[in-house]
Amino acid sequence: MPLRNDSPDVGFMDYVQHHERIWGTESYKGRPGLADILSAPVVVFWKPEPKAESASRSPKDAERNERYVVTLHTDLREIEDHFVRLIMRGNLMSPSRRIVSIFQNQKRVRVKSVKVEFDQPEG
């Protein structure tokens, strides 16, 4: 069961506890340990996007896609790069996951603004 990420009452520890409870002893590629999550400067919770061909997936597959995965980062620049790739390359590939919540130093952060600049190529 996903957390309501639009609620201001849902904090970093709620996400971490939910992640640990829902995954239990199961793992996924790159799953960080609890100590690493708690000490990382930037923690991002992602929701896997179901593949188009799995439209008739089993209830177990549907449940698995509701479980958030976690990535750890040294700073927000890596997340900014992710958004830039989505904008610039989105027509070439659809994302396999989407960001649910971003925490920096265990405090929630959100994208405040986006600026796109245009230029004409020379020649």
pLDDT tier, 63 (very low <50, low <70, confident <90, very high otherwise): low
Q: What is the pTM of this model?
A: 0.81
Residues 6 or more apart whose CB falls under 8 angstroms from that of 69 comprise 28, 30, 31, 45, 46, 48, 97
Query: What pLDDT score does 57 carry?
Result: 57
The 8-class DSSP code of residue 99 comes to: E
User: 3-class SS at 61?
Assistant: helix
Q: Would you say residue 91 has pLDDT above 70?
A: yes
pLDDT tier, 32 (very low <50, low <70, confident <90, very high otherwise): very high
Per-residue pLDDT, averaged over 20-31, amounts to: 93
Mean pLDDT of the chain: 85
Q: Would you say residue 79 has pLDDT above 70?
A: yes
